[in-house]
Chain A
Amino acid sequence: QITLKESGPTLVKPTQTLTLTCTFSGFSLSTSGVGVGWIRQPPGKALEWLALIYWNDNNRYSPSLKGRLITTKDTSKNQVVLTLTNVDPVDTATYYCGLSYFDTSVFVYWGLGILVAVSS
Chain B
Amino acid sequence: AVQLTQSPSSLSASVGDRVTITCRASQGIRSALAWYLQKPGKAPKLLIYDASTLESGVPSRFSGSGSGTDFALTISSLQPEDFATYYCQQFNSYPITFGPGTKVETK
Q: Which residues of A contact B (CB under 8 A)?
A: 37, 39, 46-49, 52, 60-64, 96, 104-108, 110-113
Contact = CB atoms under 8 A, between A and B. Distances in A.
Given A63-B1, A113-B43, A52 B96 contact: yes
B21 to A, nearest CB: 14
Given A48-B98, A52-B96, A63-B95, A106 B34 contact: yes
Interface residues of B, number: 21
B29 to A, nearest CB: 12
A113 B44 CA distance: 10
A37 B55 CA distance: 19
Given A46-B100, A47-B36, 16 more contacts: A37-B96, A39-B44, A46-B87, A49-B89, A49-B97, A60-B96, A61-B95, A62-B96, A63-B1, A96-B44, A105-B89, A106-B46, A107-B44, A107-B89, A110-B43, A110-B44
Contacts of A113: 43
A61 B38 CA distance: 24
A96 B43 contact: yes
Interface in B76-107: 87, 89, 91, 94-101
Given A46-B87, A47-B87, A63-B1, A107 B46 contact: yes
Given A46-B87, A47-B87, A108 B46 contact: yes
A37 B46 CA distance: 14
A106 B94 contact: no
A45 B16 CA distance: 28
Contacts of B91: 104-106
Contacts of A60: 94-96
A50 to B, nearest CB: 9
Contacts of B100: 46
B98 A49 contact: yes
A108 B55 contact: yes
B101 A46 contact: yes
Contacts of B49: 104, 106
Nearest to B49: A106
